[in-house]
């Protein structure tokens, strides 16, 4: 019975609930963090990508019943034409 109790204590020590409760935060610190987030200046950024597809063909060697034969395979490849990104600067607004 003592051995079972020791196994129980080891399980409690390694439990994920105990580990989560160990690193709890004070309520006032949470409210202070939320207030800092409210007062912080937001950052707005975006990224735009222009692209198109190119149709390509290639010769592929395949095997059927031990015999090799070539076939033509057509596929589409995406090509990025241009990429641009920026962010909104609040000082100039």
User: What does the pLDDT read at residue 78?
Assistant: 97
User: What does the pLDDT read at residue 18?
Assistant: 75
The answer to whether 59 touches 70, Cβ cutoff 8 Å, is yes
Using DSSP's 3-state secondary structure scheme, residue 79 falls into: strand
How far apart (Å, rounded) are the C-alpha atoms in residues 11 and 14? 5
Chain segment 24-81, per-residue pLDDT in tens: 888 899 999 999 999 888 889 999 999 999 999 999 999 988 889 999 999 999 999 9
Single out the residue of 76, 68, 72 nearest to residue 59, CA to CA. 72
- Of the pLDDT bands very low, low, confident and very high (cuts 50, 70, 90), residue 93 is low
Single out the residue of 91, 88, 92 nearest to residue 44, CA to CA. 88
Single out the residue of 17, 18, 34 nearest to residue 26, CA to CA. 34
User: What does the pLDDT read at residue 17?
Assistant: 78
How far apart (Å, rounded) are the C-alpha atoms in residues 89 and 38? 18
pTM: 0.45
User: What does the pLDDT read at residue 92?
Assistant: 65
């Amino acid at each position: 019975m003592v051995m079972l109790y020791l196994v129980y204590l080891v399980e409690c020590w390694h439990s994920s609930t105990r580990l989560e409760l160990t690193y709890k935060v004070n309520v006032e610190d949470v409210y202070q963090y939320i207030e800092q987030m409210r007062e912080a200046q937001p950052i707005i950024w975006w990224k735009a990508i222009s692209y198109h597809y190119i149709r390509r063909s290639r010769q592929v060697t395949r095997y059927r019943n031990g015999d090799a034969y070539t076939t033509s395979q057509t596929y589409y490849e995406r090509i990025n034409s241009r990429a641009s990104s920026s962010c909104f600067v609040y000082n100039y607004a």
